[in-house]
Structure formats: structure tokens, C-alpha cells
Structure 1
Amino acid sequence: VWSDELWDVHLGPGSEALCLESIDESTGLYAGRPQDHPAILALLERTSGKRLALDFASRVDEPGYQAADRLLLRQGSRLLAQVNVMHRVAWLGGNRAPIANFVDCAAAPEATDRNLIKTMWDVAEDQAMREGAIIGFAYACDASTLAGRGWRPLPQQGYTRIAARTALARLEDQRTRREARYGEAARRPLQVTACRCFHADALRRIYERRFSPVSGALYRSDEHWQWLLSRGAHDQVLLAHKAPQSPSGEVGEVALDDIVGYAVVKDSCVVEMAVEEQHRASRGLLLAEVCRNAIEHGRRHIELHAPADDPLHDLLITAGGTWRLSDSPHACRWLLKLLAPEKWVERQFEAWQQRTRDAGLARPLEFHLLADGMSQRFQLTRRCSRLLRGRDNPSSWVAGGVADLHAALLGADPTVPLRFSDDEVAHIFGQVAPRQTFWRSPWETLRLN
């Protein structure tokens, strides 16, 4: 339990901090410095009620981390609030796009002035856009502050929970049925073993093939893969691979090309799983091993965290599992916001073009996006796609809240149904901006104990 006097967090001495925006004589927004880390850690620990020293140290080592990306709300030497704006690349709509991750969002209890917090987020979002981010992802435990700013919960981000013995029985039954139907497989049998750091190249190959069509999944460099594997926030990474061809082959010397799938496990929860499409049966093999390990360690349930369209969810739910979004209304979750809609529309030209071609829609085409105080014209020609200033009294339009319209352009479901001028516009919009599968891997947000 933290005592009241511990809430007064002071920044240490050092070189003069860069002031990004002055609010009054004593209050302003500043870029973070390495010497601010102790005060930032203290704020994060006191707002979460958890010891985070090990986790914080590991995240400072994350590739691309810079102390200056942290935005600090200061009143004199006191730290009132902070947010870390990390620039990454993610897959969205089948293409890579620059994004900003807004993480480590924290505000001290005495930061009661909502205008101060609003100003901090205004500056954070503007800074992200100036540095090239088109879309923002915020990981926050209190979404109320961001809901009024146009942020929307990441759709379909959930998991399936089921008793380990029940899941294992269903998976074994499925395996028996498959063997009875297809007989002896022509290819070599698969095995499950533990992953080692030198297997990272195989994991990256499988990850990109599985998750590049999934909106929101982060692009990971070699450095990020090594960081994830070495920081140790997970319990184990299981590999599904082809068995050695010769009896003398050792399991520890698995060829990278023979690895066909992997599963990242934390406390009997599968936080990330990916397999090669031609070896889909390896998903059941990996999950069965997770079930056995859970039973061996006395854990009654397992969880599967995977995109909502993963067939394993259906398998586990029909076996008696339950689909859940979160265990608590205060649980941290990902939120989404389109920061630069004009850039997004221009960047997605090839995707818009392909979708309209597949749907047999004539080009050029256009429709208006209407909201309170906003009128924009979506235009798609054979050479470009643009979001322009709207005309007066348009005949073809899509209407809704600004945040809902922008979410729909990304392929996310709006919180309030959109309205259309007619059925033809509704059909065109559905073809141009179809619903996408969104997902962010929990592996990246696991805390070190």
C-alpha cells in the first residue's frame, strides 16, 4: 500500500529539459531524459500498485527506445503525468504503415485538472503525426480519458478460456479422427520442443506469413525478435517441427527450414501462436502440449490469445470454452485512432484500387464523409486516392461521428452504426473499406515479475 506522501514524485537534477509546451509559469510539457527514469518508474509503480523495476529496465533496452520520446507533464520539479510515444511499423490492410504506440500512460492522483491531461494528449498526438505516424495505438487501463478524443477499443481483441483437461480431450479426439480419416501421413511426423534464441529467423518467417494480413500486428526487426526472446517475460516458446530424418538426429539441432510453427506461453496462456498454412494440424499439437504442461503444474485452465478468426477459438468454444474480452473493466486494453486520415487514404491507393476492381466498381468514384463540423470527400480515380474538402449538399454520403467514420475507413466496426444516403453508397463503402481482422500480440505487453 502506498502512503499519500509517496505520491509527490520529483524529477532529479541534470541538464535542462526540452520544453515542448509551456502551460503556465510553473507547469509545462517536457521531453524525457535518461535522468528522469527513476521518477518515471516511481510514478508508474504508484499508479499501478506493482513493482516494475525489472520490467522498466527491460523496456529501456527495447530497440528504438529513446528517453526523449516520453512526454512529461511537470509542475516545477514534480512529475504529474507522462506518456511514452514509440514509433513503430505495423501491418494494416495488408500493407505496412508507420504507427505510434502510446504506452506507459500514467497520471498522479493530484493531476486532477482535466485540461492539463488534455493538453498532454494534444501535444503527444501532434508530435506523433509530425514524426510520420498515421495511426495511433494506445495501451491504457483507463479508457475514459481517451474515449472523448476519438480513440476506440481495438475490435475483436479477446481470448478463449477452457479447462486444460477438457481441451486436451477434444484435441486428442480430433487427432484420432484425422488419423482414421487420412491414414499414415506421407510427410515426416511432427514433434514439439523448446525454442532457442538461434531459432529466431524461423519464428520471424512464420510470424510474418501468419500475421501480415492481420491489421495492427507489429512488424518486428531482427533486433526486436532478439529482445522479445531474451527479456524473459514469457515462460517458454514451443516449436513444432519435422522430426529428424535419421534416428541419430538430435532434437536440439532442428533445422530452421523444418520449423513449421511456434507458441509463446505464459502461465498456461498461449499469448502468441503461428503456424505454416500447409501444417495447420501443428496448432493442435502445440496446444495439446500446453495443456499437458498446465496439468503437470497443477493449473486447471488454459487461455488462447489469438486473432478472432483463428479456428482454434471455435474448436475450444464447442468443447466448452468461453470467449472473453477482459476480466475486469479496469484491465488495460489497446485503443485505436486514425491520426492522419488524409495520409491514410493516399497511402491505401493500391488497396482501394484492388478492392474496387475485384468488386467490379467503376472508377472514378467518390462519396462524402459527414459528421458534426466535418465534411470530407473521398475520391478514388485510376491514378490516386484522396480525401478532399467536402462540397455543399452532396448527394452521395456516409454520415456518423468523426471517430466512427475514421474507424470505418480503417476497417474497424464503428461504435454507432453509420448512415448512408442510399443502398448503392452503402454497397460501395462496404467494398472499399471492408471489415478487417485486428489484433495486437499480448507477448509485447507482458510484464516482467
Structure 2
Amino acid sequence: MRVLTTAHRTLPRAGRDPASRSGLRRQATAPRPRVVAVEARPAKADLLPGLEVAPGAASDHHVVYELLQRVFRAPSADAFYASLDHPFYEPCDRLLARRGGRLIGHALLNPREMLLDRAVAPATQVSWLATSPEYRGQGVARFMLEAVDARLASDGSVVGVLTTRIPHYFARHGWALCARLSRYVAGARALLARLSHESAGRGPGVCIRPWRHVELPALVRLYAANLSPGMFARNEDTWRWLIGQRAFDQIYVATDSTRRSQLEDDGVSLAGYVITKGNDVLELMVDPARPHLAWQLLERVCSDAMEMDCHHLGLFAPPNHALTEVFLQVGGHRQGPEEASCEYLMAKVVDPVAATQWLLPQLQRRAEAARLNRPCELALVSDNVRLTILLTRCGAKLVVGKPSRSPLRLGRTELTRLFLGAIDVRSAITAGRVSCPSRSAAHVAAVLFPKLPLWRAPLDDLME
């Protein structure tokens, strides 16, 4: 039986500049190591003979691009080689499957920092999982996902995340479905009429104009102020690279200043921004103290859409966003799972012990906020893992392997959802997905693991 306390941090985190994320708490300070010197993993006996997976190198970029083109017809050459300039990218972030020296499989594992409740956790974004067409159905992708699990377990990630349109495939390999990425669609004319009517009664408007490059710190500031669970943190280097990609059409900003000179306006007065591509709003962020600016920014986008003869407008936003109700009120709808382009957010916690250890300060804070009677404990049993969380008024600690009379019993995917706040504990118990013989244990679990509004901005996928 092992005992881990909040003072015993076992998870390193990626070395990032924290200056752009003031207000977010840090729970680890050691630099997060890259796994570079990894020996090739030979395939199991039931897979293709001679199949091996190993980290990529700079010399592999050309063949990787050719494989992605054969499988996805994407990305473009310019987009692919621009992605190599990402400030945190290393060639070893790719896992490559080869047979007889030929590249037949690929996965990209990008180190990220993801907000979980109020703290930023080291995470890994998994993307571009590809198998050469002639080798499909022979277990190559399954072997790649096993190699992904091994990397997640060794690189200090609390969680691995991915977005996909085929969640059933990844669910078979232990990935948990956590959220559906919301896209709302409505008629541009109806939206403009509604927004114009509402804006008339909101007092004097602000200046909506194109963004200037000297105002980059303002984007960093506004994004950090709106960071919500599931979103990736972005520092100024990341933003600069993202802007350089030009994978969007326009950025408008809302400002109280009417000055035209870039030397006179340094971006301090910026109170909101919107990023568009085609007839979609990819990201819209405003000062939390001035939510009405979101209406004025969207009104400008609607006006542009009408001028370009776009009859429908799409909005990527979480379900609780202030503007989603406007889309629904004018006859719009939320993109449903029956639509082929609907994407899902999935996650996987490979090491529950390390993840629980990272969560201990969060759990202690939640217990204090709910005035939970302490000392108390909550036992979690998932497969062959037994975790007991002990809470006192002085702190929290984790005991591994301790027997309990009334534990929460749940599968590994439900455990991932529990850690990320993707389930309501009481509803899961009622539905039979979680077993809990004690009302007191169910109450403690509901306090320590509340449901969170998980969301991933689509602009983050441009960072792959």
C-alpha cells in the first residue's frame, strides 16, 4: 500500500512560459521531458511480421507528408511544412510504424497544456492517426494506439485528448467520449435582424475593426480570460505561430478607441475579438465584464456574410455560450451526430494513480468550497486499480491499494470521464454505469468530481 500526499508531485509538466496565463494555478514545476531515445517496439505475434513503431526524425518529414496525402488528401504542402515551425514541435513527437523500412503508419502527439477546472494540466493531443491504405484491417492502427498509450504513460501527461468523427473506433481501444463539439447554424439574414434589434437598446456601441499585429498581447489576454475546461493554454509564441499560419480569413476586434495610429493604440483598449473562416465563426472571445460585445462582433460578421452572399452562418461555441441561444431563437440548430461532419472530443487517462495525484490539490479546493465534512475518504475501484482519496482539513493524500467497504466501482472509460468532469456522478449511478453502495460516498464523489462544461476551440486543431 502506497501513500501519496499533495506535497509529493510525481508529474512533470512541459516547460512553457506562464506569463500569458496569469490567474491559472500551477501544480508542477519540473520541465516535462521529451521521449526521444525510445527503442522500436516490435509487433506482437498476431500482427504483421516485421512491424515496428519508433519516434520520428527530421529526415522522415518528406515520407510522412506523402503518407498523409495518400490517406487524407491533406494537409497542403504549405500547411504541413509550416506546422514544423510550431514553437513546441519536435520530430520525435511523431510515432512512425514501419515494415521492412517502409512507412505504413503515423500518429502525431503534440504536448499541450489543458485547463481542468482551475488548473492547467500537462496533456498530449493525438492527431493524424493514419494507416497506409493497403495495410488497413491488419491491426496497424491498433498497434499504433498501443504505442500512443506507452508514450502517454512515459511523458508526464495527465491525459491524452483527440477529436474524431468516428468515436466508436477509439472507444474500442479505451478512449472515453467526453463531449460533442458544438457548431450552431442559422440564417445570416435572421441573425442580423435579431442582433440589430438587440443592439439598438444596448447604448453606444464600440468600434469594430480589423485586428493589427501590434495587438497580439490583447489576443493573449482575452483568450486567457475566457479559458474554460478542455481548452488548451496558448502563450504569445503559440499565438504568433497561429497567426502566421493564416488558416483563417479575418480577425475583428472590439475597442473603445477610435485612434487610427498603431503607435497611439497599443491594444489595451481591446475588449473582444472574433476569428472567422468562410461563413464560420471559429472563435469569439470578449472581456468577461462586457458580455454584450459578443453581440456586436457577431453583428459585424453577419453583415460581412450578407455582403458576400452567404445565407447561413456557423458558430463554434460551447452549449452554454451566450450566443447559442440567439442561433436557436432565429430558427437555427445545433449540428447533430447524424451529420457526417460532427466531431467528438475523446480522452484517455493511461495512469490513474498519477492523474489522481495531480488532481489532489483540486479535490482539496472543491472540498473546502463545498464545506465538506472532514476527515472523509472516497475509494475508487477501476479494473485492478484501487485508489483511496483521504481528505482532512490540513490537506489531501492518495493511498493506493487500500481495501474499502463502500468504493465507487467503475470502468476505465468512466474513470476518465470522472477525472475530466464529463459525467454527472449521481446520474451515472442511477444509469448503472457507476456502482456505489453508500449514499455518503456518492455525495463525496459528487462534490469532488462535479460535471464541467468541457469544450475545445476548433482553432486549436490548426495547431497540429
Scaled by the length of structure 1, the TM-score of the pair is: 0.86
1:11 is matched with: none
3-state DSSP of counterpart to 2:285: strand
1:237 is matched with: 251
Q: CA deviation at 1:341?
A: 2.2
Determine which of 59, 62, 66 is the counterpart of 2:86.
62
Q: Distance in 2 between matches of 1:259 and 1:326?
A: 37
Q: 1:162 to 1:330 in 2, by over 3 A?
A: closer
1:228 is matched with: 242
Q: 1:339 to 1:121 in 2, by over 3 A?
A: same
Report if aligned partners of 1:374, 1:402 keep a CA contact under 8 Å in 2: no
Q: Distance in 2 between matches of 1:172 and 1:193?
A: 17
Determine which of 410, 415, 435 is the counterpart of 1:405.
415
| CA RMSD after TM alignment | 2.4
Question: Please, which moves more after superposition, 329-338 or 279-288?
Answer: 329-338
Q: Distance in 1 between matches of 2:141 and 2:75?
A: 25
Report if aligned partners of 1:197, 1:226 keep a CA contact under 8 Å in 2: no
Report if aligned partners of 1:234, 1:446 keep a CA contact under 8 Å in 2: no
2:99 is matched with: 75
Q: CA deviation at 1:401?
A: 1.7
2:377 is matched with: 366
Matched, 1:94 2:118: yes
Matched, 1:44 2:68: yes
Q: Percent identity?
A: 24
Q: Deviations over 1:229-274 (max 9, x none)?
A: 1110000111001033xxxx32655331100000110112111111
Report if aligned partners of 1:342, 1:387 keep a CA contact under 8 Å in 2: no
3-state DSSP of counterpart to 1:279: coil
Q: 1:99 to 1:447 in 2, by over 3 A?
A: closer
| Equivalent residue letter for 1:367 | L
Q: 1:420 to 1:230 in 2, by over 3 A?
A: same
Matched, 1:273 2:284: yes
Q: CA deviation at 1:101?
A: 0.8
Report if aligned partners of 2:242, 2:463 keep a CA contact under 8 Å in 1: no
3-state DSSP of counterpart to 2:237: helix
Q: Distance in 2 between matches of 1:19 and 1:130?
A: 13
Q: Distance in 1 between matches of 2:374 and 2:294?
A: 43
3-state DSSP of counterpart to 1:110: helix
1:389 is matched with: 401
| Equivalent residue letter for 1:233 | A
Q: Deviations over 1:391-414 (max 9, x none)?
A: 1xx332222222112211221127
Report if aligned partners of 2:131, 2:140 keep a CA contact under 8 Å in 1: no
Gaps of 5+ in 1: 1-16, 180-184
Q: Distance in 2 between matches of 1:80 and 1:70?
A: 13
How many matched pairs?
A: 416
Q: CA deviation at 1:329?
A: 4.1
Matched, 1:380 2:404: no
Report if aligned partners of 2:250, 2:277 keep a CA contact under 8 Å in 1: yes
Question: Please, which moves more after superposition, 73-82 or 26-35?
Answer: 26-35
2:209 is matched with: 193
Q: 1:409 to 1:447 in 2, by over 3 A?
A: closer
Determine which of 182, 191, 196 is the counterpart of 1:158.
182
Question: Please, which moves more after superposition, 234-243 or 138-147?
Answer: 138-147
Question: Please, which moves more after superposition, 111-120 or 435-444?
Answer: 111-120
Q: 1:423 to 1:177 in 2, by over 3 A?
A: farther
| Equivalent residue letter for 2:350 | L
Q: 1:38 to 1:140 in 2, by over 3 A?
A: farther
Q: Distance in 2 between matches of 1:41 and 1:428?
A: 50
Matched, 1:28 2:62: no
2:4 is matched with: none
Scaled by the length of structure 2, the TM-score of the pair is: 0.83
| Equivalent residue letter for 1:386 | L
Gaps of 5+ in 2: 1-36
| Equivalent residue letter for 2:222 | I
1:431 is matched with: 447
Q: Deviations over 1:290-339 (max 9, x none)?
A: 10111111111111112222111112212221112467446554321123
| Equivalent residue letter for 1:222 | E
Q: CA deviation at 1:209?
A: 0.8
2:352 is matched with: 341
Report if aligned partners of 1:72, 1:81 keep a CA contact under 8 Å in 2: yes
Q: Distance in 1 between matches of 2:250 and 2:91?
A: 30
Report if aligned partners of 2:214, 2:266 keep a CA contact under 8 Å in 1: no
